[in-house]
Amino acid sequence: MPHRLHQIPAGQTKSMVTWPLAVITAVAFITLGNVTYADTNIVWSDEFNGVSLDTNKWTYDTNNGFWVPDPGYWVPGWGNNELEYYTSRTNNVYVAGGYLHIHAQREAYEGFNFTSGRIKTLGLYFTNYGRFEWRAQLPGGTGTWPAVWMLPENSPYGGWPNSGEIDVVENNGANTASEGATIHYGGAHGNDVYSGLNYNFPTGQSVTGFHTYDLDWTSNSIKFSVDGNLFETQTSWYSNIGTNTTKYPFPAPFNVPFYFLMNLAIGGKYLGNPSTNSINPSLPAEMLVDYVRVYEQTAPLAITVTPQSDGSLSLLWPAGIVCHLQSAPDLTGTSWADVPGGTTNPFVVVPDPTSSGVFYRLESP
């Protein structure tokens, strides 16, 4: 599944020449199952290439639980008997070396024995339908519970589980040979209904290596893949109205925008409530995330060149796609460089008659 447009498939390129300038374009595509969709591009991403967490994209969950305002009570352990205290410190969440690091450690803090990190895009980015992709390396060890998941931004279907939950990746660190993906829904009599499967890694692989985890979400199916291997398809779910057995029309609750969460929990019911003494040897532990990307079908990612009255050239491409301009003096493939200000759309080029020419292309992300 190419995402960098310099990987140009044979027969899918074209050039437009104005002055000694050439624009290189290509068809971007992804394959879902056995079906290939053209013009599928990245519309949101975090590549974690900076020096700190981008707080325009992410915010933190902190503490060891949450407050339910109506009827008004505290839920400890995040409702899962988790043992960590989440913080917003760089001890627990930081960006370095091109990765997001979520770091869990033994530490006496606010009355707890462990600290870790949990971040989310609540209020900053939320969407429904498309392909959602994470490349991540998860920790192993008793008591570690890494997760990549989604919750509704503002569901009309009431509280959890009626409002739904999509668990893209979660793992019991005591078993690094597999990981699970699950959807939660229901709500009748207050009961959580869930459907999920485990993915078993090929011999010699485990969650402790880097893998690509994909969610393909449409109005009538939710599919999970690891490294391009589709292992789970969900097509049946429902949302109850309150605690009674009456249901909202399908595809509720998975037809509204959801936001992303990533965290590294310590202990909890999912792991069988391991003891502190059994967890201690596993820490410190770290979850590394290379990137998070959202793909959608868009207008073709191509550059339109328009001459201006002052002799300059305007380079324009479809809005809403994560990309930037690169230029090169030739097509050897080794001299492409980011254009300063190359995310500006449209981008104005002033021709240089003394130049032997220049090539432009779009790189995504």
Active site residue 133: no
- The pLDDT, as a whole number, for residue 17 is 30
CB atoms within 10 A of CB 329: 13
- The pLDDT, as a whole number, for residue 12 is 30
Q: Where are the alpha helices (DSSP H) in 206-347?
A: 276-279
Q: How far apart are CA 234 and CA 331, in angstroms?
A: 45
- The pLDDT, as a whole number, for residue 335 is 86
From the list 165, 179, 232, 286, the catalytic residue is 165
Q: Which residue has the tokens 């991403």?
A: 45
Q: What is the pTM assigned to this prediction?
A: 0.91
Q: How far apart are CA 235 and CA 188, in angstroms?
A: 20
Active site residue 170: yes
Q: Which residue has the tokens 């969440």?
A: 93
- The pLDDT, as a whole number, for residue 115 is 98
Whole-angstrom CA distances from 23 to 2, 42, 327, 362 are 19, 20, 9, 9
- The pLDDT, as a whole number, for residue 70 is 81
175 burial (CB, 10 Å; 0-12 / 13-18 / 19+) is middle
- The pLDDT, as a whole number, for residue 332 is 79
Tens digit of pLDDT for each residue in 282-300?
A: 999 999 999 999 999 999 8
- Report domain extents, the chain: 14-28+301-363, 42-296
- The pLDDT, as a whole number, for residue 7 is 30
- The pLDDT, as a whole number, for residue 357 is 80
Q: How far apart are CA 290 and CA 288, in angstroms?
A: 7
Q: What integer best gives the mean pLDDT of the chain?
A: 90
- Which parts of the chain have pLDDT scores under 50? 1-18, 34-35
Instruction: Answer whether CATH 3.60.20.30 is correct for domain 42-296.
Output: no
Q: Which residue has the tokens 């190359």?
A: 342
From the list 107, 133, 170, 232, the catalytic residue is 170
- The pLDDT, as a whole number, for residue 38 is 62
User: Among 216, 53, 40, which residue's Cα sits nearest to residue 121?
Assistant: 53
Q: How far apart are CA 144 and CA 264, in angstroms?
A: 7
- The pLDDT, as a whole number, for residue 301 is 87
- The pLDDT, as a whole number, for residue 30 is 53
